[in-house]
């Protein structure tokens, strides 16, 4: 398990994830630069990803989709802002339709990837997620509230079941 | 981006979301949430912890109350502030979802990097 740190900053509305990889920076870069490798880890296990277009250069776009257990497909895009191969890049990550046209009604977030060499030949990978706008954070917080209500309802069900 | 966002995006209620975000994006208000978990402090007792007036603390508590993050209870002649744990948990679950997504991704990266490098014979 190479994950070493997760840091959430509510003031800056960012989350930073740090992982120590036992491969050189050039190998770690391929995780993002090679679409066949990217699609093997970008989607969660239950939502595998397919990368349809991949242009990891400033001003370029990456278009991907993820398919869920019930065949539901969700499209997303990266707008590539800056690239410093093989040490990192910055993108805007958002939702899109099947033609990769961004859906501006859904929240997007900014992601900065840093790949720094470690002593001994490994790589320290840092992922910094920033909510692009206050509205994005607000929408996501609201989704969290909905989830909280569902969890609370689930607990009520358990209590009722136990009292029978 | 979490898959979860797709599922519930139709249910967004902007007013509540703005209140929650506004309430949480302030260090004093987050400290009030932390100190009020046991629900033992009045507003004036809370105010002793901060270099601001009781009236200013009163306003912070009102913002938190409107967002559903604290509630006020009468104990004798005193109004005490208590953290609404469910509200706080709900607000933080957004970042928890994102953390869970990245933990899953890094597990998959780990598996991928453990494979023999096919590019080199």
Give the CA distances from residue A139 to residues B9, B16, B41, in Å, rounded to whole numbers and listed in that order: 8, 10, 32
Q: Is residue B95 packed enough to be buried (19+ CB in 10 Å), middle (13-18) or exposed (0-12)?
A: buried
Choose the closest CB to A142 out of B12, B109, B112: B12
Per residue in A101-127, pLDDT tens? 887 776 677 899 999 999 988 999 999
pLDDT of residue B56: 96
Using the Cβ of B85 and the Cβ atoms of chain A, whether some distance falls under 8 Å is answered with: no
Question: Which one has a higher pLDDT value, B35 or A132?
Answer: B35
The total of other beta-carbon atoms located within 10 Å of residue A64's CB is 23
Question: Which one has a higher pLDDT value, A59 or A47?
Answer: A59
Cβ contact B104:A45 at 8 Å: yes
Mean pLDDT of chain B: 77
Q: Which residues of A touch B21 (CB under 8 A)?
A: 134, 137-138, 141
Q: How confident is the model at residue B7 (pLDDT cuts 50, 70, 90)?
A: very low
Handedness of CA B52, B53, B56, B57 (dihedral sign): positive
* Total-model pTM: 0.63
Using the Cβ of B91 and the Cβ atoms of chain A, whether some distance falls under 8 Å is answered with: yes
Kindly identify which residue of chain B lies nearest to residue A148, measuring between CA atoms: B90
Choose the closest CB to B16 out of A11, A44, A142: A142
- Mode of pairing for the β-strands spanning A123-131 and A88-96: unpaired
Q: Which residues of B touch A143 (CB under 8 A)?
A: 4-5, 8-9, 11-12, 94
Mean local confidence (pLDDT), B52-63: 94
pLDDT of residue B52: 95
Question: Do residue B99 and residue A134 have CB atoms under 8 angstroms apart?
Answer: no
Residues A131, B88: Cα–Cα separation, whole Å = 19
Q: Which residues of A touch B117 (CB under 8 A)?
A: 27
Q: How confident is the model at residue B42 (pLDDT cuts 50, 70, 90)?
A: very high
């Amino acid at each position: 398990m190479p994950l070493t740190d997760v840091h959430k900053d509510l003031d800056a509305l960012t989350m930073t994830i740090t992982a120590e990889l036992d491969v050189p920076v050039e190998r770690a870069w391929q995780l993002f630069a090679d679409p066949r490798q990217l699609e093997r880890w970008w989607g969660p296990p239950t939502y595998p990803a397919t990368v349809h277009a991949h242009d990891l250069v400033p001003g370029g776009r990456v278009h991907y989709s993820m398919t869920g257990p019930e065949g539901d497909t969700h499209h997303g895009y990266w707008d590539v802002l800056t690239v410093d191969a093989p040490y990192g890049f910055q993108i805007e990550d958002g939702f899109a339709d099947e033609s990769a046209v961004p859906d501006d009604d859904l929240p997007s977030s900014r992601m900065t990837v840093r790949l720094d060499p470690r002593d001994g030949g490994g790589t320290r990978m840092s992922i910094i997620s920033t909510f692009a706008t206050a509205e994005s954070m607000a929408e996501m917080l609201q989704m969290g509230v909905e989830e909280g209500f569902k969890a609370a309802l689930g607990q009520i069900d358990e209590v009722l079941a136990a009292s029978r | 981006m979490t898959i979860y966002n797709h599922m519930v995006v139709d249910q967004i209620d902007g007013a509540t979301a703005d209140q929650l975000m506004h309430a949480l994006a302030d260090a004093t208000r987050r400290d009030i949430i932390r100190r009020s978990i046991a629900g033992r402090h009045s507003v004036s007792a809370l105010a002793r912890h901060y270099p601001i007036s009781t009236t200013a603390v009163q306003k912070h508590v009102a913002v938190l109350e409107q967002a559903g993050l604290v509630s006020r209870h009468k104990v004798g002649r005193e109004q005490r502030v208590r953290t609404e744990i469910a509200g706080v948990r709900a607000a933080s679950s957004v970042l928890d979802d994102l953390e869970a997504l990245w933990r899953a991704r890094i597990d998959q990266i780990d598996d991928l990097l453990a494979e023999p490098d096919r590019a080199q014979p």
